[in-house]
Amino acid sequence: MNAISKTQYMQGCQCEKLLWLATNKGDVLEKEENIRTTEGNEVGELARTYFPGAVTVPLNRAGEMAKETARLIDAGNKVICEATFLANGLSCSADIIRIEGKAADLIEVKSSTSVKLRQLEDVTFQYHVVSEALKGFGLSVRNVFLMHPNGDYVRGDNLDIYAYFKMERVTDFVQKEAVNVEANLEKFMALCKGDEPEESLDMHCETPFECPAKAYCHAIHHIPEKSVFSMAGMTAKKKYDLYKMGIVTPRDMLHAPGALTARQAIQAQAMAAGIDGKEMSRLQLDYKNLSAFLDTIQYPLYYLDFESFQKAIPPYRGTQPFQQIPFQYSLHIQQELGGELEHCEFLAVAGKDPRRALAKQLVHDIPMGEQSMAYNSSFEKTVCRKLATLFPDLADGLLSIVDNMVDLMIPFQKGWVTTPSMHGSYSIKAVLPALCGGDPALDYHALPVVHNGAQASETFGSLHLIKEYEKVEAIRKGLLLYCGLDTLAMVKVLEQLYVFAGGGVEYAAV
């Protein structure tokens, strides 16, 4: 290993074993799925327009990019994007270099709305390399900035990039920390040339991002498939704390007094017994509270679910970076308990602001004063409130939906309805198979194209870029099927709750 890149340096900062594996045994690493990659690229491209006259080094091998960077500096260019430098066996590409006289500013562009420690470590490595490389041009680094979206920015009719971006000076931190880079580099270079290092399991497996070597390391440490690490509703820190105490398997957890909450104990019992959604044990039922909850439900009932997307660069007037923008809803309607279902739905045209059309149809589909139902209703209520503020002429109808909404998650969140096959989770994705398992029409995994909310958001957010009509229609169909299943799931779960409550018993077999 003759050189170390910024990526390798950051891997070593997170976990030395990760760096060794990435360098010597890369095939064991799981492929990372980062839905922020596209957002980061878009923010980076926009940042280049912040500086008039900026030139960009074309993407190529590091050596070729470094040669082009040198040519652009010698030609007197003042702002260079993707400037690439090689120094002492190290390489990095700086998002932006701004040169004034004999001084240069190093500017790193990020898509997050605040500065993160990992970003500071990232730009510290760059500072180390760029400072050394610029000496050959008679230049020195004067300041270091992290350039990122301003989370408080609200877009007008047009995007104001000078209000959208914040330039945070981090020079003092970087210069202070830069003294550690050389020692880290020496350690990392030696590490990569040596034998595979041992490494314990700890929070570095999760932060600043989930390690792609985690499955490999779990196998080395003989972590079973069902373990403390597969517990739902438990913080990562607690999982690693228990692991370091020797509490690993479900039976370990059950024999450790005080280690688990009541909900976690139920989950551990299910894991220890090998219970899954098709082999459900007894249902634990708080009949009194469940019955009281069901008494609050009125018909006709409107089962509502929204899908939304978010963009780092606010796309429409009145939006902010990463604001949730609703683009779709599904609405199942039941006039009476056990009655036939009607279905309404809305899916916006990609590339256009969907909010007005969605809000207008929604207040038409849900009449004033009627009761609606959502699962984890805080999101649906927030969407409706924001739409009401944006469109005052529709506010009465939208706020009526908020005021008359009931949350189907409550009986599961409160523990009034629990079963081992829910594995400690009260997510609809856990509750549905636990209560209504076996029906292929309710299987999210069997859906085409879209299987979860994050996928729906990402898919619609880039749909306007797809030109093939057949592909667009297939994606739209997939979005409709996914969102429709979310509301149908509520119908089926609520039906099952009425069955349980009708039994009038503390424990009922499912």
Q: How far is CA 117 from the centre of its chain?
A: 18
pLDDT band at 246 (very low <50, low <70, confident <90, very high): very high
pLDDT value, residue 267: 79
- Long-range contacts of residues 316-320, Cβ cutoff 8 Å, at least 24 apart: 316/155, 316/353, 316/355, 317/155, 317/156, 317/157, 317/353, 318/154, 318/155, 318/390, 319/154, 319/155, 320/151, 320/152, 320/153, 320/154, 320/155
* pTM for the full predicted model: 0.85
CA distance 377 to 405: 7
- In this predicted model, what pLDDT tens digit does every residue of 40-52 receive, in sequence order? 899 999 999 999 9
- Six-digit token string for 221: 């440490």
pLDDT value, residue 390: 95
- In this predicted model, what pLDDT tens digit does every residue of 81-105 receive, in sequence order? 999 999 988 889 999 999 999 999 9
According to DSSP, the β-strands at 371-374 and 405-407 are parallel
SS3 347: strand
Phi first, then psi: give them for residue 33, nearest 5 degrees. -110, 105
CA distance 328 to 347: 5
pLDDT value, residue 2: 58
Neighbours of 203 (CB within 10 A): 11
pLDDT value, residue 502: 82
Mean pLDDT of the chain: 91
Does residue 433 have a cis bond before it (omega within 30 degrees)? no
- In this predicted model, what pLDDT tens digit does every residue of 12-34 receive, in sequence order? 999 999 999 999 999 999 876 55
- In this predicted model, what pLDDT tens digit does every residue of 429-462 receive, in sequence order? 889 998 988 788 899 999 999 999 999 999 999 8
Neighbours of 223 (CB within 10 A): 19
pLDDT band at 280 (very low <50, low <70, confident <90, very high): very low
Neighbours of 161 (CB within 10 A): 13
pLDDT band at 36 (very low <50, low <70, confident <90, very high): low
Q: Where are the alpha helices (DSSP H) in 56-156?
A: 62-74, 117-134
Rounded percentage of the chain residues whose pLDDT exceeds 70:
95
- Six-digit token string for 305: 């679910």
Could you tell me how many residues make up the chain?
510
**Cα 44-49-53 angle, rounded to 5 deg:** 125
- The secondary structure of residue 82, as a DSSP letter, is E
